[in-house]
Chain A
Amino acid sequence: MSGLRRFSLAPLPHTGLFGVFLGVHAVGDALHVLHTGVGCKGKTQRQLVDHDLGREAHPQVGWTELAEEDLIRDVAARLREAVPDLQRRRRAAALFVTASAAVELTSTDLAAETARLQAEVGVPVVWLPGVATAPDLYAGYGAVVRALVERVDWHRPPADREATTHPLVSLVGYLFHRYEHEQTANLAEMSRLVEGLGARLGPTFLAGESFDTLQRAQSARLVVRLPYAGVDADDLGVLTSRPVCAAGLPLGLRATGAWLRGVGAALGVASGRVEALVSAREERAAPRLSFARRCLGGQRLAILADTPLAAGWVLLAQELGLDIPLVALLDRSLGGEASLRAQVAAAGGALSPGTRVVESPTLLELRDLAGAPGAAAAFDLVVRPDLSLADTAWADLPTLETGFPATHKHFVFPLPELGYNGAVALAQRLLDAVGGRY
């Protein structure tokens, strides 16, 4: 390994601090309080502003703007001043407090401080320790999800009528990264899948819903753990006192079928009914994918994504007849290659021997993976978020921009990525990328 690798930035270098902000932004009425120096403001809202055109992020962050003298005198003093003042102005339903690595190094008991502040302001004030040193944004997002799940009163059993006639299903660990219409469409698709199984979709952690709405997850009979939950299925079962179904992302036909079978079994739906549902939905979608396959088959696709999203893309790409020479996993906390293979296998697929998987490449490594600018391209198209790849061969490739951040792709039309309609919509986007005409 190059000595410089240790010091190189990652393509998505965000830590949990930004992930917490992303999570807080995905709760309609929460507030992120940064107990940090002034520079940390730029690590939150500014990172999201070009990605989410659906909703301004700045009203959901406040800060204490610690100065050096605050560190010397009393690290918590500014927090004690700022939180009541922020709450007076912002009137949030819940506040999530994080600190920079330097502040946490002072070992001030910020848990006790936030507990006192909660009593003072009268709404939950949640202290999330260690996020600035957490490995990536997904770890921070998961910390918010977990904290929110912990605040639901799961001890009350679901109401009988709801539990038996049309049971409520709550999703935990959906990555809601902006208030744009592909997110609306994804949630509608998952709701359609759940309804196909005779159930109803309840509160989703997270989906832009309010803090109070999330409390209604208590009525859920089943919890479906999605990959960005920040808590494993066993722990989630303990936290919620509910059966938990661990599921991947329903991206592509096989993954969506596997999702329906898993959730259906957990709900106790007869397997024949589930298979009939899967067949009916696939019958509509499969011919369209076959159509796309005529244009896409044999083309070389590079996938640059976090592990769960990459797994979904591998499955869909195979269904479209694409070759996948490269999968670069951009996260540092979601399981890496082993998890990728497991998630693909769980949907009945397998990585082809010709697929190279690169875990957590540095930005410099990733820039080199596409080859030198102007040289023969190693790939025909790429699926990736917006990364710092200007002046590289990546910039010349037909590109489907997805995930976080996606600053060049915005949705005013509810075009899904998940479910059966999502598979068809993504095939359309790939065709558009290859054709270069929109």
Chain B
Amino acid sequence: MEARQQAKLNQVVCTLEGMATLLQRTPGDFAVVIHGDPDCANVLMHGMDHPGAHRFFCTHLTPDEAVAGRTLPVLRDCLDALCEELAPEVVFVLGTCLSTLVGDDVDPVIRAASARHGVRVVDLAGAGMRFVSQAAVVDRFARLMAGAAPAAVPAPRSVNLVGFDPGREVRQQLAELGVVINAVLDPGVPVTEWQRLCAARWNLVLDRVLFAGFLSDCSDRGIEPLEVAYPVGAGSTDAFFDRVLAAVCPGVDSDAVLAGPREAAHREVATGLESTRGVRLGYNLGSKKDLSPRTLAREGLAEVSVFEELGFEVLLLVQGDDRPARVAAVRETLTALGCEAPLAVFSDTVFYADLCGDQRVEVTYASDHLRDLVAGAGVGLVEQGVLRPGYGGVAGNVRRILAAMKPRGGRP
């Protein structure tokens, strides 16, 4: 884990930004208080596609209150008003740079408010000017959600899908094979879904390290971790089913359910190979900040197999510090994850297009905010996150990749 941290392959966030983002995505009967200046409320996203902002409140601290040491009474007033007027089941309190700077000890205020109103108030300590990895935030969030899950008797062959949703097709195939999906625990699902946690026997994850704390907590409650490949592309979907079935339903004959789709997917790959074999593809790591476990799993490598099985000559294009010590840590980390593809590092997104040119990249799998840059360089872009899971997703994925190669006039 230490080498992975040094490699810094996912962008850092502050605890406020990370936890606020994940809590905003999560439906549930809770409110969040941001204890800081008004600007800190702007880590939230707004608009119809980002529901949940109305459950957030802010102490709106002024510089005068900070200088005069009057910040904690404001928090107390906020908690009182919130508990009296809305009375949510839980109130989470997030600190900020400002509350850290003035050294606010929020614990006594929180405990007193909780006692006064009978509402659970939780201090999500750790905010302020401290970097944390997105992975650490995701793990912490999962532990927070899991903490409130009641004990339950797990059903036989029952699994939680933690941090990823393999899509309707895969879920249906799992069900037909006798695997009971107890809960899909991806950030964004309601709190009520997290409360089903303990009714499963296994937690399926794409990356045990990503959820180290959560899985440890769950193991204490009798839920076993099971690391699986992300079922995207033909080969990784094979690996996913092989691993799940071996652990959960040993001996089950899967051919009746999977043989047809599997063969069709492998045929699509074979056809795609005719156009993609040997094409140089830049696989971007470290540019996306979406707090998505699927993006973060295996330091971003969860989908690289899609391009490897299509015969691309994969080059990893890694954003961040380009000094030798960090580059060495990146290499070590990627090798430990089983990836020996060559890599190149760029320190700033504005250099991405030049790097693609220097490395003779024809098409790139990259974060969508790099689209303008790579388009200017005549490099095709497959947007990270668009690949569909399951055998049924393979044909569409191949079409999408081939379409991205067309603007360059490359092999169609």
Stretch at the interface among A5-13, A155-163, A185-193, A427-435: A5-13
**CB of A3 within 8 Å of the partner chain:** yes
Q: Mark A398-411, 1 if CB is under 8 A from B, else 0.
A: 00000001011000
Q: Which residue of A lies closest to B98 (CB)?
A: A102
Q: Which residue of A lies closest to B350 (CB)?
A: A59
The answer to whether A58 and B369 touch (CB under 8 A), given A17-B39, A37-B14, A367-B54, is: yes
Min C-beta distance of A168 to chain B, whole Å: 32
Q: Which residue of A lies closest to B49 (CB)?
A: A407
Min C-beta distance of B288 to chain A, whole Å: 12
Stretch at the interface among A49-57, A253-261, A373-381: A49-57
Q: Mark A59-74, 1 if CB is under 8 A from B, else 0.
A: 1000001111011000
The answer to whether A68 and B62 touch (CB under 8 A), given A39-B14, A55-B372, is: no
Contacting pair B37 A102 (CB below 8 A): yes
The answer to whether A3 and B77 touch (CB under 8 A), given A14-B42, A56-B371, A59-B349, is: yes
Contacting pair B13 A39 (CB below 8 A): yes
- The 8 Å CB contact of A37, one of B38, B85, B129, B348, is B129
Residues in B neighbouring A14, C-beta threshold 8 A: 42
**CB of B59 within 8 Å of the partner chain:** yes
Contacting pair B63 A3 (CB below 8 A): no
Residues in A neighbouring B56, C-beta threshold 8 A: 9
Q: A13 to B12: give the CA distance in the assembly, Å.
A: 24
The answer to whether A9 and B129 touch (CB under 8 A), given A4-B81, A90-B350, A407-B47, is: no
Contacting pair A100 B59 (CB below 8 A): no
Interface residues of B in 48-103 (CB under 8 A from A): 48-54, 56-63, 66-67, 77-78, 80-82, 84-86, 96-98, 100-101
- The 8 Å CB contact of B81, one of A7, A67, A102, A390, is A7
Min C-beta distance of A199 to chain B, whole Å: 35
**CB of B345 within 8 Å of the partner chain:** no
Q: Which residue of A lies closest to B102 (CB)?
A: A105
Q: A90 to B349: give the CA distance in the assembly, Å.
A: 10
Min C-beta distance of A105 to chain B, whole Å: 6
Contacting pair A101 B39 (CB below 8 A): yes
Residues in B neighbouring A93, C-beta threshold 8 A: none
Q: Which residue of B lies closest to A13 (CB)?
A: B41
Q: How large is the interface on B (under 10, 10 to 19, 20 to 34, 35 or more residues)?
A: 35 or more
Q: A363 to B56: give the CA distance in the assembly, Å.
A: 10
**CB of B271 within 8 Å of the partner chain:** no
Q: Mark B89-128, 1 if CB is under 8 A from A, else 0.
A: 0000000111011000000000000000000000000001
Contacting pair B80 A3 (CB below 8 A): yes
Residues in B neighbouring A37, C-beta threshold 8 A: 14, 97, 128-129
**CB of B219 within 8 Å of the partner chain:** no
Q: Which residue of B lies closest to A104 (CB)?
A: B63
- The 8 Å CB contact of A17, one of B42, B48, B54, B84, is B42
Tell me the total A-B contact number using a CB cutoff of 8 A: 177
Q: Mark B344-358, 1 if CB is under 8 A from A, else 0.
A: 000111110000000
Interface residues of A in 5-30 (CB under 8 A from B): 6-9, 11-15, 17-18
Min C-beta distance of B50 to chain A, whole Å: 6
Q: Which residue of B lies closest to A59 (CB)?
A: B350
Q: Which residue of B lies closest to A136 (CB)?
A: B38
Contacting pair B62 A39 (CB below 8 A): no
**CB of B244 within 8 Å of the partner chain:** no
Min C-beta distance of B34 to chain A, whole Å: 9
Residues in A neighbouring B130, C-beta threshold 8 A: 67-68
Q: A104 to B58: give the CA distance in the assembly, Å.
A: 19
Contacting pair A66 B129 (CB below 8 A): yes
Q: A388 to B56: give the CA distance in the assembly, Å.
A: 12
Min C-beta distance of B191 to chain A, whole Å: 16
Q: A2 to B57: give the CA distance in the assembly, Å.
A: 14
Q: Which residue of B lies closest to A90 (CB)?
A: B350
**CB of B179 within 8 Å of the partner chain:** no
Q: A395 to B51: give the CA distance in the assembly, Å.
A: 12
Q: A7 to B54: give the CA distance in the assembly, Å.
A: 11
The answer to whether A388 and B131 touch (CB under 8 A), given A3-B85, A7-B58, A59-B350, is: no
Min C-beta distance of A22 to chain B, whole Å: 12
Q: A102 to B95: give the CA distance in the assembly, Å.
A: 12
Residues in B neighbouring A132, C-beta threshold 8 A: 37, 39
**CB of B16 within 8 Å of the partner chain:** yes
Q: Mark B324-362, 1 if CB is under 8 A from A, else 0.
A: 000000000000000000000001111100000000000
The answer to whether A388 and B47 touch (CB under 8 A), given A4-B82, A49-B369, A102-B101, is: yes
- The 8 Å CB contact of A133, one of B33, B38, B100, is B38
The answer to whether A388 and B51 touch (CB under 8 A), given A2-B81, A39-B16, A132-B37, is: yes
Min C-beta distance of B61 to chain A, whole Å: 8
Residues in A neighbouring B45, C-beta threshold 8 A: 46-47
Residues in A neighbouring B86, C-beta threshold 8 A: 4
Contacting pair A102 B85 (CB below 8 A): no
Min C-beta distance of A73 to chain B, whole Å: 12
Residues in B neighbouring A353, C-beta threshold 8 A: none
Residues in A neighbouring B46, C-beta threshold 8 A: 11-13, 47, 386-388, 405
Min C-beta distance of A41 to chain B, whole Å: 8
**CB of B151 within 8 Å of the partner chain:** no
Contacting pair A9 B53 (CB below 8 A): yes
Contacting pair B47 A387 (CB below 8 A): yes
Contacting pair B38 A13 (CB below 8 A): yes
Contacting pair A102 B97 (CB below 8 A): yes
Residues in A neighbouring B59, C-beta threshold 8 A: 7
7 example contacts (A-B, Cβ-Cβ < 8 A) are as follows: A7-B58, A39-B14, A39-B17, A42-B43, A47-B45, A101-B61, A388-B47
Spell out A's residues near B (CB within 8 Å). 2-4, 6-9, 11-15, 17-18, 36-40, 42-43, 45-47, 49-50, 55-56, 58-59, 65-68, 70-71, 89-90, 100-106, 132-133, 363-364, 367, 386-391, 395, 405, 407-408
Extra inter-chain contacts (13) besides given A36-B97, A38-B13, CB under 8 Å: A2-B85, A4-B82, A6-B78, A9-B54, A15-B38, A15-B39, A18-B42, A56-B369, A100-B39, A102-B97, A102-B98, A102-B129, A407-B48
| 4 A-B pairs with least C-beta separation | A39-B14, A3-B81, A102-B97, A101-B37
